[in-house]
Amino acid sequence: MLKAIWMSDPHFAHEGDIMGHDPRVRLQAAIDHINQHHHDARFCVISGDMVNRGSEADYEALSKLLNQLVIPVLPMVGNHDDRLIFRSKIPVPDLCMENFIQFSVSTPEGWVLCLDTQKHGSDAGEFCAQRRAWLRRALTDAGSTPVYIFLHHPPMPLGLPMQDSENMENGEAFLDMLSEFECVKYLFIGHVHRAITGTVKGIPFSTMRSILYQAPAPRPDWNWETFKPAEEASSLGVLTIVNEAVNLQFEQICKFEHGVRPAI
Ligand SMILES: [Fe+2]
């Protein structure tokens, strides 16, 4: 049995608000929730956008806060992160690629792969030849052992306003590669700040709400000029896997108003 916690997009900042939300208050609420209710989880995956702007002070303050967690952290990179500063301030697992924050973790239920989909200087993601070669090797080596994949950028359109242009470039080729391997059992995707589940090329997937602020529903239509976070509470995922049966519970970590400025 594997029990793990999945949180996404904390967009941490050591000072100030992001979209009217206090990232320190929200991350603290998530940590408190995990320590109180899920200290028996094997680890907590954070699927990217660890910080909002990527300064050294942000990563230092983030690292300090994450040290409060009583379970290990599997930290991942998103479009808002600075890969070099991240690497210098946040510990990554031993089996991490040298130039990317991409790694595999062995669990009693199979391999968990955390991919690096960042494209430098872009909000859209990419999955370059070097990272693809690493993934192909990991999937080949897995053989019949189940593999569960976490990644920041969706490799396919999700029908959310404005966001499909910021997905993983060449996502189609990425998914075609995954379809070659029967060991791939589930994709866990960050970036969109909204919970969606479905299948893509026969592979089940879920996206996750942000720890900080939520993207509105597709209707009424919206764009970045009119963007205002949805008045929905933050959630994290409680994931259990038993003999390839995946159960993902979305758990609210605090009330919507917690850490939100009254102007919103
Ligand atoms: Fe993102």
CA of 197 to the centre of ligand 1 (A): 18
Lateral strand order in the sheet of 203-207: 103-107, 110-114, 147-151, 184-189, 203-207, 197-200
Q: Look at residue 54 in the predicted model and tell me its pLDDT.
A: 85
Q: Specify whether the CB–CB gap between 18 and 260 falls below 8 A.
A: no
Q: Look at residue 227 in the predicted model and tell me its pLDDT.
A: 86
Rounded to a whole number of angstroms, the distance between the first and last alpha carbons of the chain is: 42
Domains of the chain: 2-252 (3.60.21.10)
Q: Look at residue 263 in the predicted model and tell me its pLDDT.
A: 60
For residue 134, what are the contacts with CB-CB under 8 A and spacing of at least 6? 97, 100, 102
Q: Look at residue 261 in the predicted model and tell me its pLDDT.
A: 84
Position of tokens 């009583």? 70
For residue 93, what are the contacts with CB-CB under 8 A and spacing of at least 6? 74, 103, 105
Position of tokens 């209710």? 37
- In one letter, which amino acid is 200? V
CA of 115 to the centre of ligand 1 (A): 14
Report which of 41, 100, 32 is spatially closest to residue 66, judged by C-alpha positions: 32
Rg (CA), the chain: 17
Token digits of residue 140: 């080949």
Q: Specify whether the CB–CB gap between 45 and 10 falls below 8 A.
A: no
CA of 144 to the centre of ligand 1 (A): 32
CA of 10 to the centre of ligand 1 (A): 10
Q: Look at residue 264 in the predicted model and tell me its pLDDT.
A: 47
Q: Look at residue 188 in the predicted model and tell me its pLDDT.
A: 98
CA of 118 to the centre of ligand 1 (A): 9
Q: Dihedral sign, CA of 104, 183, 133, 196? A: negative
CA of 71 to the centre of ligand 1 (A): 24
CA of 85 to the centre of ligand 1 (A): 17
Please, is 46 exposed, middle or buried when counting C-beta atoms within 10 Å of its C-beta (0-12, 13-18, 19+)? buried
Whether omega before 220 lies within 30 degrees of 0, making that bond cis, reads yes
Residue by residue, pLDDT tens for the chain (264 residues) are 999 999 999 999 999 999 999 999 999 999 999 999 999 999 999 999 999 998 999 999 999 999 999 999 999 999 999 999 999 999 999 989 999 999 999 999 999 999 999 999 999 999 999 999 999 999 999 999 999 999 999 999 999 887 788 999 999 999 999 999 999 999 999 999 999 999 999 999 999 999 999 999 999 888 888 889 999 999 999 999 999 999 999 999 999 999 998 764
Q: Look at residue 75 in the predicted model and tell me its pLDDT.
A: 98
CA of 52 to the centre of ligand 1 (A): 9
CA of 12 to the centre of ligand 1 (A): 12
Residues in the chain: 264
